[in-house]
Structure 1
Amino acid sequence: MYQEEKTFTLKFSLEASFPDDYEGEDDQQAWVREWEALIKPELLKQVFETLRRQPGWTSHVRNRGASPADEIEVVLARDFSQLRPFSLP
């Protein structure tokens, strides 16, 4: 089967700023845990809800060995290999 691919990257870079007297790791990266526990799951939920509404497309997560804490690849696929049934208008 012939297959074409196109990659689109939406990248999030998380940053946290602290006062000059911050000793580092005082908060034990609570801001990262907030991203992982609250923001990222809600974001992914919304992404997949939007993708599921697109007729003719399927979506799933693909793991290529990277940690899901660092990367989540979402595959959006459309299959043109199946013959469509003939129908009269």
Structure 2
Amino acid sequence: MYQEEKTFLMRFTLEASFPDDYEGDVDNLVWLQEWEARIKPELMKLIFESLRRHPSWKSRIRNRGASPADEVEIVLARDYGEPQPFNILT
């Protein structure tokens, strides 16, 4: 089977600023914990909810060995060898 591929990267850089007298790690990285526990899972849920609206594309997470704290790869695949689902909106 012939396969083509294109990579699209969406990068999030997290930054937290502190006053000059901050001693470092005093907050136990609460700002990062908020990202991991609340914001990132919510984003992932919204992304997959949106992708499910396009039934001809299959989405899944792929792990290439990087920590999920550092990278989440989402694979979107479309198989032109299979019949496509009927969608009245297209």
TM-score, normalized by length of structure 2?
0.90
Q: If you compute each CA radius of gyration, which structure gives the higher value, 1 or 2?
A: 1
- Counterpart of 1:77 in structure 2 is 77
* Amino acid paired to 1:36: E
Any idea what the Cα deviations from partners look like across 1:1-25, whole Å, max 9, x if unmatched?
1100000000000000000000000
Question: What's 1:28 paired with?
Answer: 28
CA shift digits 1:22-71 (9 cap, x unpaired): 00000010000000000000000000000011031100000000000000
Q: Give the ranges of 4+ consecutive aligned residues of structure 1 lying more than 6 Å apart after TM superposition.
A: none
Q: Runs of 5+ in structure 2 lacking a partner?
A: 85-90
Give the CA RMSD over aligned residues: 1.2
Question: Residue 68 of structure 1 corresponds to which residue in structure 2?
Answer: 68
Give 1:1-89 correspondences, 5 Å limit: 1-82=1-82, 84=83
Identity of aligned residues (%): 67
TM-score w.r.t. length of structure 1: 0.91
Q: How big is the shift at 1:81?
A: 2.0
